[in-house]
Amino acid sequence: MDLVEKVRNKVRLTQEEGEALYDLDLYTLGELADEIRREKYGKKSYFNINRHINPTNICADVCKFCAYSATRKNPNQYTMSHEQILEIVDNSVKNHAKEMHLVSAHNPNDGVEWYMGAFKKIKAKYPDLHVKAMTAAEIDFLTREYGHSYDEVLDMMIENGVDSMPGGGAEIFDEGVREYLCKGKVTSSQWLEIHQKWHERGRQSNATMLFGHIETRAHRIDHMIRLRDLQDITGGFNAFIPLVYQKENNYMKNCNFPSGQEILKTYAISRIMLDNIPHIKAYWVTASINLALIAQEFGCDDLDGTIEKESIQSAAGAASSHGMNLDEFVALIKNSGFQPIERDSLYNELKVYN
């Protein structure tokens, strides 16, 4: 049975077979991934009305790819007060946001109470608002900085109103690559352990992969297989999000920034390899809205959301600082030949746009 037949017969692929998918032409890959996507979701494309809040850019860690964090003597450091965070939430709720997505740098100046207090105040004021917060990297930082265990931090998150976890901090799981990219930050095994513990608490999360820098195709396939293995155990990942590396204003040099074809191949291969993760997200913030719309033909069934404001990727060159207007977002999905479906954070359908 050749590779294409294996995919069509739903045979789970190995590391070597996953790498070999990249040797297929773009249209064959797109066709294979689109068949899987259509079987699962037809022409539906999911999105949510959400707001990204990045409460601080002061960071104890130095990742070479990051253009957002402010370290050492950076004059542009900031940390929001709880009042400032709540003011943003108030305005976003008025704009019908259903999810607050809070991701921060690793700020050594504010204790666990600052993080947890923000979640608690949001949830107290808006009990029905979904709070997605705390990457595994942030959780690992809090344990290192303040002497808590992973279990203690995860339990505090639940107690203070966190509903689900984003997938940030995964980068590339290969430790040789991590040594160069983000030495000192959460390791791959720790990232997986934290998400497993979260899933064991009956909670769900997303998973990411940052690609297009110094990693190889083999590293990407290895990353996907590790996620697939954990998903076999827990079933707790909602979506996989391949994040396209943004190359402006950081310390990375001589990267092999991917072509549009390479990005689309990676989306398609993600859909093929990750047979047990429901959704593949083309995060328009890093891919660009145009490529994300095309990615709907290459296995992606989710485009994230309106976002409203975004600071981390836009600091590195992404055109996402002011989010996306809802009417425009819906029109773009319709015009690309798909059916926009507004979802909640756990993929329950809220509104169908015909």
pLDDT digit string (tens) for the chain, length 354 residues: 799 999 999 999 999 999 999 999 999 999 999 999 999 999 999 999 989 898 887 665 665 555 555 565 566 788 899 999 999 999 999 989 999 999 887 667 788 999 999 999 999 999 999 999 999 999 999 999 899 999 999 999 999 999 999 999 899 999 999 888 877 789 999 999 999 999 999 999 999 999 988 899 999 999 999 999 999 999 999 999 999 887 655 556 666 778 999 999 999 999 999 999 999 999 988 878 899 999 999 999 999 888 665 444 444 444 444 578 888 889 999 999 999 999 999 999 999 998
Q: Where residue 344 sits, what CATH number does that domain have?
A: 3.20.20.70
Number of structural domains found in the chain: 1
Asked if the structure places residue 197 within a domain, the reply is: yes
pLDDT for the residue 322 = 57
Asked if the structure places residue 262 within a domain, the reply is: yes
Asked if the structure places residue 161 within a domain, the reply is: yes
pLDDT for the residue 320 = 40
Give the list of residues 6+ apart from residue 105 with CB closer than 8 angstroms, or none: 54, 56, 57, 58, 59, 68, 69, 70
Question: Cβ distance 264 to 30 under 8 Å?
Answer: yes
Instruction: With CA atoms as reference, report the closest residue to 135 among 166, 99, 89, 171.
Output: 166
Q: Quote the distance between the C-alpha of residue 234 and its chain's center.
A: 18
Per the document, the length of the chain is 354
For the record, the structure tokens of 210 come out as: 């940052």
Asked if the structure places residue 299 within a domain, the reply is: yes
For the record, the structure tokens of 67 come out as: 């253009």
**What single-letter amino acid sits at 168?**
G
pLDDT for the residue 65 = 53
Distance in angstroms (rounded) separating the CA atoms of residues 256 and 52:
29
Global confidence as pTM? 0.91
pLDDT for the residue 42 = 98
Distance in angstroms (rounded) separating the CA atoms of residues 291 and 314:
17
Asked if the structure places residue 10 within a domain, the reply is: no
pLDDT for the residue 184 = 79
Asked if the structure places residue 9 within a domain, the reply is: no
Asked if the structure places residue 122 within a domain, the reply is: yes
Domain around 75: 18-352
Asked if the structure places residue 5 within a domain, the reply is: no
